[in-house]
Amino acid sequence: MPNQTHTHFVTKPKRPTGIARNAAANWLAFLFVAAVSFFLSPIIVRNLGNSAYGVWSLLVSVVGYLGLLDFGVRGAVTRYVAHHHAVGDSEGSSSIVSAGMVLFLFLGFIAVLLSGVVAYFLPVLFNVPDTLVGDSRLVLVVGGLTVATTLVGAVFGGIVTGLERFDVSSGTEIVVTAIRSVAIVLALNAGYGLVALGCIHLASSVLYGVAARIAVHRLYPELKLRFHGDLRPHIRTIFSYSMFLSVIHVMGIVAYYSDALVIAAFLPVSAVTYYAIAGNLCDYAYKVAGSLSKMMTPRVSAMTSMGSGNVSDEIVNTARIATLATAPIAATFWFRGESFINLWMGTDYGPAAGEVLRVLAFVVWLGGARFVASASIMGVNRHRTLIPALVFEAIVNLALSIALVGAFGIVGVAIGTLIPSVLVTLLYIPFCLSRATGVPAGVFYRRAWLLPTLAVLPFALVNIFLERVLPASNLAFFFLQIILTLPLVVVGAIVSCLTPAEKTQVGSMMKRAYSALR
């Protein structure tokens, strides 16, 4: 980081916030958002219909590409606020945040302009039904405004993340999600469509930004936004970190949003609906891992700033937990995904979406530990080493999806996503993490993937048996079966994942609990 020209006001260094509280807050937010999305998705599909919902999913992907304008600035704000706050430097935090705000105000304006251009050429680019072109264009412009407000709000959200106050950010997410969901249901029941959905998302983006600003004022009162003086050195500091982070962000967006664009370009837009159902389920699973991985960038940054010697253990242990969280979901997707979609969305969607879900289940299985590793690499400012692999993944993903969509339809697009993701995750990420943080690749393979996967095998085998012998006839019975078999994951984790010291600690806790119950 370049030397700063101003005089720092340095206070007592701050200790990193406990990971347990943050993990609990993130999990609570995830469970709430997932539950709301679970009940909301069928309502939206039924009210909009296949074609309109396919268009909505397409527009979400197009607007998602405007997120490229983030340029890694939020990640830089998070990283440097975590660093400056850890050593008690509020002046340094204020300068970085002010520079980030200037950048995002400008980039938000660009987002609105680009959304207008894309809206104009929309019928040329995609197979949008003529009856939906007008509404789709308006939704795209509203989407550009949503991106602009999200970018500005991201500065404050990045500060809260940098302070490791995930309880606050999770609480804000829960409240905003609840308000947005109620508004969507009311709007759809009143007969409104795509434009109303777009406006509701814009309003919720503004609400989140305002709430995050209030939270920052209370959590970090020493931090001040100031637009006077020369902010160019701090903008350069941001870009010294975010330049490489922005490439990572670009590749992630290309890989994540290109599937819907390929399908809409080569198949009827209604096909996007079937892929989106499976993709949304996988997105919920990614958020399980994200609830852990998003803590790692500020935490690893703060720990290294304070000279902690426990960084490697923290990374491996968190990656292990992430796989223990995502592997049961992946197993359920693979062996019971089609029947779940039949019960959830209807039998018209289960076969096609279920095939896609089986393919993407492998990405979910490996994704938990991968997200933790990538976030940790960013925390030590070595994220540039991720770029070659992510560029490869994005390009191959797009190329394979285009090559396979004609012969295999939406399943071919899923295969195009799977192949490069598995190659990068297994053959590159562990070695990149090892060079950046010192975690041996062999240790990561064993403790982050192999042992947690073995722990999940009993759960998977029992669910295979249940699917063949006692298939669920309704969602309540399906979830009951999953809940009753989840303790097998805990037992498997204790047997195969814990170190001898951890097993001793668990044994002592169980003895104390047993004694307390007697």
Among residues 227, 253, 279, the one where a domain terminates is: 227
Please count the helices (runs of H) and the strands (runs of E) in the chain: 18, 0
Q: Is the domain of 413 the same as that of 270?
A: yes
CA 472 to CA 321: how far, in whole Å? 29
Residue 2 lies in a domain: no
SS3 89: strand
pTM as predicted: 0.72
* Residue spans of alpha helices (H) in 67-89: 73-86
Query: In this predicted structure, what is the pLDDT of residue 8?
Result: 39
Q: Is the domain of 491 the same as that of 354?
A: yes
In three-state form (DSSP H/G/I as H, E/B as E, the rest C), the secondary structure along 9-54 is CECCCCCCCCHHHHHHHHHHHHHHHHHHHHHHHHHHHHHHHHHHHH
Q: Do the beta carbons of residue 207 and residue 66 sit within 8 Å?
A: no
Q: Identify which of 122, 15, 35 has the alpha carbon closest to the alpha carbon of residue 344.
A: 35
Query: In this predicted structure, what is the pLDDT of residue 20?
Result: 64
- What domain count does the chain have? 2
Residue 90 lies in a domain: yes
Residue 47 lies in a domain: yes
Q: Is the domain of 350 the same as that of 477?
A: yes
Among residues 201, 227, 253, the one where a domain terminates is: 227
Q: What would the pLDDT profile of 30-80 be if each residue is shown by its tens digit? A: 788 888 888 888 888 888 887 888 888 888 877 776 766 776 777 777 777
| Residues of the chain below pLDDT 70 | 1-20, 23, 65, 67-68, 71, 87, 229, 241-243, 245-246, 249, 253, 307-309, 513-518
Residue 246 lies in a domain: no
Q: Is the domain of 128 the same as that of 185?
A: yes
Q: Is the domain of 97 the same as that of 169?
A: yes
CA 193 to CA 199: how far, in whole Å? 10
Q: Is the domain of 167 the same as that of 282?
A: no
CA 410 to CA 262: how far, in whole Å? 9
Query: In this predicted structure, what is the pLDDT of residue 13?
Result: 43
Q: Identify which of 430, 440, 211 has the alpha carbon closest to the alpha carbon of residue 312.
A: 440
Among residues 200, 227, 254, the one where a domain terminates is: 227
CA 388 to CA 513: how far, in whole Å? 50
Give the domain range for residue 159. 7-227
CA 384 to CA 247: how far, in whole Å? 9
Residue 253 lies in a domain: no
Q: Is the domain of 318 the same as that of 221?
A: no
Q: Is the domain of 202 the same as that of 57?
A: yes
Query: In this predicted structure, what is the pLDDT of residue 94?
Result: 81
Query: In this predicted structure, what is the pLDDT of residue 2?
Result: 38
Residue 257 lies in a domain: no
Q: Is the domain of 182 the same as that of 324?
A: no
Q: Is the domain of 192 the same as that of 115?
A: yes
Query: In this predicted structure, what is the pLDDT of residue 518?
Result: 62
What are the tokens at 95? 């300068």
Query: In this predicted structure, what is the pLDDT of residue 171?
Result: 87
CA 137 to CA 63: how far, in whole Å? 11
Q: Is the domain of 474 the same as that of 403?
A: yes
Q: Is the domain of 40 the same as that of 180?
A: yes
Q: Do the beta carbons of residue 162 and residue 85 sit within 8 Å?
A: yes
